[in-house]
Structure 1
Amino acid sequence: MARGGQGLARVAVVLRAGAAPLWWLGVLAAGIGLSVPGLTGRRIGVLAGTALFLVAAAVVAYARRGRYRARAGAAARAGKHDVLQDRAVTTRNWRRGHRWWLLLAFLAAVGSAFAVPAAGGMLLAGTGAGLWLKAAWFGRLERADEVLLWVRVDWLVAGGRPAGKAVKGYRGTGIAAGDAAPGGARRRTPALV
């Protein structure tokens, strides 16, 4: 980085980075789980999985909202020498850093099908859905304040989570900065430069 600038990653993109792999791995694990009768039977497995899906989505979506809101309210302005990381780079870095956890979660979900069919996969999919809901909520927060919120990349590497203990605060930019819309989705229209 030139002249003391920091690498910054979008908070909402970090939140969304895990949503898709958790969702699809969960759906795949649930599908595999339905092929196994399990100890409880498929019907009980699907009912238990539905409950786990809803609980996981709600818990993940609402967890640490106060911490995110407090850091968003106290966000400092990003400096002109800060480097804004692309959405694709942030997503790739998160997925590379968590690939072994994703694989272990998938294997655990498939393995749980021998006891309760499909339930582990539905729990995993619920976690992905909860992350997507949290990113959507965070996008509404960004739109309301008309600011995009960023976190230092080195703090993410140290702690792994955008609201973890290693993160001291966020930095804000104008709503048109970067290549991701509020909430971390791809921009539908090109950003103004």
Structure 2
Amino acid sequence: MAVVVRAGAAPMVWLGVLAAGIGAVPEGVTGRRIGLLAGTVLFVVGAAVVALARRGRYAALARGAVRAGKYDILQDRAVTVRNWRRGHRWWLLLGFTVALGGSFAVPAAGGLLWAGFGTGLWLKAAWLGRREQAEETLLWVCVDRLDKRGGRPAGQAVRGLRGTGIAAGDAAPGGARRRTAALV
């Protein structure tokens, strides 16, 4: 589940930083100083809102997780990330365009807000990872509950989660790539 949450974090942060950097070049309507201060506030507020949104739904799904069965289809981390990013590439491009346009009006503010949304997703995935480590189980959304675009990990179609041991799959708790120890 944390893999789906985390899939959009990196593109949103990097595209937001790029939009903020490009948007900080011209003076804009308000000037750079006010734009950067407004962008900083928007970054913090955006990250907090996204990180705290729907936590109750995530917690309820995590509490009701059942052990993954023999016939449950659990998808690799790389496939999940690729599907989510392919399915949402137009939304990412549209968000980048809006953030870039907003950054020209109020320098860097739109880009920093977009980066704040990505940071909020990363914080939510980290929160889920701490929960997974505490319960010593990885939480999975069944593939058939996610659509081809990656879906929403706590959307209406998701009625329950599956759990596996902490060492299962190629994802670490929190949706990060599992680091394998080098064989000596």
TM bracket (short chain): over 0.9
Residue 137 (structure 1) aligned with residue 127 (structure 2):
yes
Residue 182 (structure 1) aligned with residue 173 (structure 2):
yes
Q: d(CA) in 2 for partners of 1:36 and 1:104?
A: 21
Partner SS for 2:97: helix
1:148 to 116, 138, 145: 138
Residue 160 (structure 1) aligned with residue 151 (structure 2):
yes
Q: d(CA) in 2 for partners of 1:155 and 1:124?
A: 28
| Amino acid corresponding to residue 11 of structure 2 in structure 1 | P
1:40 to 16, 30, 54: 30
1:173 to 164, 167, 170: 164
2:56 maps to 66
Deviation at 1:135, TM superposition (A): 0.4
Runs of 5+ in structure 1 lacking a partner? 1-10
Task: Tell me if the contact between 2:73 and 2:143 (Cα under 8 Å) persists in the aligned partners.
Answer: no
Q: d(CA) in 1 for partners of 2:9 and 2:103?
A: 22
After TM superposition, the structure 1 = structure 2 runs for residues 66-105 of structure 1, keeping only pairs within 5 Å, are 66-105=56-95
Deviations 1:160-193 (A, max 9, x none): 2101111111111111110011101111226xxx
Normalising by the residue count of structure 2, what TM-score does the alignment of the two structures yield? Answer: 0.94
| Amino acid corresponding to residue 113 of structure 2 in structure 1 | L
2:117 maps to 127
Q: d(CA) in 1 for partners of 2:159 and 2:73?
A: 18
| Amino acid corresponding to residue 70 of structure 1 in structure 2 | A
Q: d(CA) in 1 for partners of 2:143 and 2:75?
A: 9
Q: d(CA) in 2 for partners of 1:87 and 1:45?
A: 38
1:28 maps to 18
Moved more, 102-111 or 82-91: 82-91
Deviations 1:53-106 (A, max 9, x none): 000111111111111111101011111122321111000000001000000000
1:12 maps to 2
Partner SS for 2:139: strand
Task: Tell me if the contact between 1:36 and 1:113 (Cα under 8 Å) persists in the aligned partners.
Answer: no
Partner SS for 2:146: helix
Q: d(CA) in 1 for partners of 2:50 and 2:162?
A: 24
1:52 to 19, 24, 42: 42
Partner SS for 2:169: coil
Q: d(CA) in 1 for partners of 2:70 and 2:120?
A: 34
Moved more, 121-130 or 77-86: 77-86
Partner SS for 1:172: strand
Count of residues paired in the alignment: 180
Deviation at 1:155, TM superposition (A): 1.8
